[in-house]
Amino acid sequence: MTASRDFASRRLHSLLGVIPLGVFLLQHLTVNYLATRGPEVFNTAAGFISNLPYLYVLEWLIIYIPLIFHGIYGVYIAFQAKNNVKRYGFFRNVMFMLQRISGVIALIFIAWHIWQTRIQVVLGHVVDYDMMHNILTNPGWLTFYIIGVITVIFHFSNGLWSFSVSFGFTVTPRSQQIFTYITIIVFIVLSFIGVRAIFAFV
């Protein structure tokens, strides 16, 4: 892969991780969090999304195609990446490594979550409160989902930092340090929402 093509692919990979996948993550967490208000509220929100016109077209354009590219290219990056100790310090290099590890774990979790939910819709089942309740009352699946959701949120939150750098939003070391704190706050807030939503189904 040429340097210019690799640069463009990395920029696209980073962009898709924030838009549309990051936006979808926020929407998904919001809908799931509605389970804290009761099964009826969640079922109403999930039913509204399930009945959107051109749902399958929207899913492929906004979720699946970007996810496939981001996931496959992300695995490529993960297995050929090298830490940049000279340019960044120990903390940022650790986060760099964790970003690659979390990406692989997140991809496995998302693939399985799609199988347990969206594929089941194709097979004639309904995504509702009872479906998630049946999954998450199993201690093994509960643990798997907690780890998976936190991993996805970490990957997104930490990815915001590299996105801001690669697109020139945070150029100076000071701005990068400040944005590190912001992404940590994003991670904590979204993790609370995600884990709270999981236990709402239990």
pLDDT digits (tens, 9 = 90+) for 54-79: 888 999 999 999 999 999 999 998 88
Question: Cα–Cα distance between 73 and 67 in angstroms, integer?
Answer: 10
Question: What is residue 7's predicted lDDT score, i.e. its pLDDT?
Answer: 85
Question: Cα–Cα distance between 161 and 47 in angstroms, integer?
Answer: 34
Radius of gyration of the chain (CA): 18
Q: HSE of 4 in the Cβ direction (CA atoms, 13 Å)?
A: 0
Q: Token pair 């695995």 is at which residue? A: 75
pLDDT tens, N- to C-terminus, the chain (202 residues): 577 788 899 999 999 999 999 999 999 999 999 999 999 999 999 999 988 898 889 999 999 999 999 999 999 988 886 656 556 678 888 999 999 999 999 999 999 999 999 898 888 888 899 999 999 999 999 999 999 999 999 999 999 999 999 999 999 999 999 999 999 999 999 999 999 999 999 9
Question: What is residue 73's predicted lDDT score, i.e. its pLDDT?
Answer: 95
pLDDT digits (tens, 9 = 90+) for 112-139: 999 999 898 888 888 899 999 999 999 9
Q: What separation in angstroms does the CA of 55 have from each of 34, 48, 62? A: 21, 11, 10
The token duo for 57 is 């077209």
123: helix, coil or strand?
coil
Residues 6+ apart with CB under 8 A from 71: 103, 107, 110
Question: What is residue 41's predicted lDDT score, i.e. its pLDDT?
Answer: 97
Positive or negative torsion for Cα 17, 111, 150, 100: negative
Buried b or exposed e, range 54-85, using 16+ CB within 10 angstroms: eeeeebeebbeebbeebbeebeebbeeeeeee
Question: What is residue 85's predicted lDDT score, i.e. its pLDDT?
Answer: 52
Q: What separation in angstroms does the CA of 157 have from each of 18, 52, 72, 92, 122? A: 9, 28, 20, 14, 31
Question: What is residue 124's predicted lDDT score, i.e. its pLDDT?
Answer: 84
